[in-house]
Amino acid sequence: MSKQPQPISPLKNFFAGGFGGVCLVFAGHPLDTIKVRLQTQPKPKPGERLVYAGTIDCFKQTLAKEGVRGLYKGMAAPIIGVTPMFAVCFFGFGLGKKLQQRTPDDILTYPQLFAAGMLSGVFTTAIMAPGERIKCLLQIQAASGEVKYAGPMDCVKQLYRESGIRGVYKGTALTLMRDVPASGMYFMSYEWLKNLLTPAGKSHNELSVPSVLFAGGMAGIFNWAVAIPPDVLKSRFQTAPEGKYPNGFRDVLRELIREEGVASLYKGFNAVMLRAFPANAACFLGFEFAMKFLNWLAPNL
């Protein structure tokens, strides 16, 4: 099981997690744009072809039409949302670990780490749901060419005007269904890989940069392996016209399986997995770096 070299500080986790989140957005946003465009492209009419043939084609078309900036469309919303979200996410994980310890030296089991990760998923949904809704709408708008929203704040205002707070938080249940089990898997697999890569008799703090990058990247892949099906449903639901799915995600699921089969629940899989490794490797490296700095700055916090 994992060695706990230092008492868990949810507050340090909060600040280090925020820095990790910024690293994640810069590394992962281009492929996130491609993922959402692939997941939400309309079904072609008979005789027509899909707008994007796949991940590479979507990447090429976006670059050709919109340049590099097109890949970073809608990034203001995740930077504003992801920094506090990852801060809250790592805070929730730290708190989840601390709550299960009887003494500060207790070493947690993998099921306990999974439970702590699930708690972090509950914490992040409050920030995640509206941020994801805005991001998806802005990414779709850029692809369709119809400009309805001037930017993230305008999008929030219009959603609030049209349907109140419910419009802004549309898709919250699906965000929970995605993030609670996926966050459990995310943190548990990261700790498991860190244990696996730490040489006997050494502490986690002595892990090399490549080892941290590998553990973080693989944790991202494990996280998304669990998260993709509810993520596809969420993207569809959050970008659908008002009233299209009166029974919520059940209608989305029925329509997707009826029209496109079970494989459609893994739409955007390549883009997600291509992004998951570098983005989460960057996130955990940023987190570990910030954590070391904070432990040096305020060892007793």
- 43-96 pLDDT, tens digit per residue, is 888 888 888 888 899 999 989 999 988 888 888 877 886 788 899 999 999 999
**Residue 103: inside a domain, yes or no?**
yes
**Residue 224: inside a domain, yes or no?**
yes
**Residue 38: inside a domain, yes or no?**
yes
For residue 263, the 8-state DSSP code is G
What type of residue is 99?
L
232 has a pLDDT exceeding 80: yes
For residue 205, the 8-state DSSP code is G
For the segment 92-114, the average pLDDT, to the nearest whole number, is 93
Structural contact between residues 212 and 204, judged by C-beta atoms closer than 8 angstroms? no
Supply the CATH number for residue 37's domain.
Answer: 1.50.40.10
**Residue 4: inside a domain, yes or no?**
no
Of 238 and 290, more confident: 290
What is the distance between the alpha carbons of residues 131 and 192, in angstroms, rounded to a whole number? 30
**Residue 1: inside a domain, yes or no?**
no
**Residue 134: inside a domain, yes or no?**
yes
What is the distance between the alpha carbons of residues 279 and 28, in angstroms, rounded to a whole number? 5
What is the distance between the alpha carbons of residues 8 and 292, in angstroms, rounded to a whole number? 13
Tokens 């029925």 locate to 254
Count Cβ atoms below 10 Å from residue 262 Cβ, excluding itself: 9
Domain that holds residue 168: 10-194+205-296
149 to 23, 140, 205, 238: CA distances (angstroms): 27, 11, 45, 15
What is the distance between the alpha carbons of residues 28 and 263, in angstroms, rounded to a whole number? 24
Q: Which two structure tokens, joined as six digits, stand for 66?
A: 């919109």
Which residue from 209, 233, 208 is spatially nearest to 136, judged by alpha carbons?
A: 233
2 has a pLDDT exceeding 60: no
Q: Which two structure tokens, joined as six digits, stand for 60?
A: 């090429």
213 to 182, 247, 288: CA distances (angstroms): 19, 41, 10
Q: Which two structure tokens, joined as six digits, stand for 295?
A: 């432990």
Tokens 């959402």 locate to 36
Sorted by sequence, the CB contacts under 8 Å of residue 233 that are 6+ apart come out as 174, 249, 252, 253, 256, 265
Could you give the count of Cα atoms lying within 13 Å of 117 in the half-sphere of its Cβ? 24
Into how many domains does the chain fold? 1
Tokens 């983005």 locate to 279
As a whole number of Å, the CA-based R_g of the chain is 20
**Residue 140: inside a domain, yes or no?**
yes
- 163-186 pLDDT, tens digit per residue, is 899 888 888 888 899 999 999 999
5 has a pLDDT exceeding 70: no
**Residue 183: inside a domain, yes or no?**
yes
Give the confidence band of 24 by pLDDT, cuts at 50, 70, 90.
Answer: very high
Q: Write down the mean pLDDT value for the chain.
A: 88
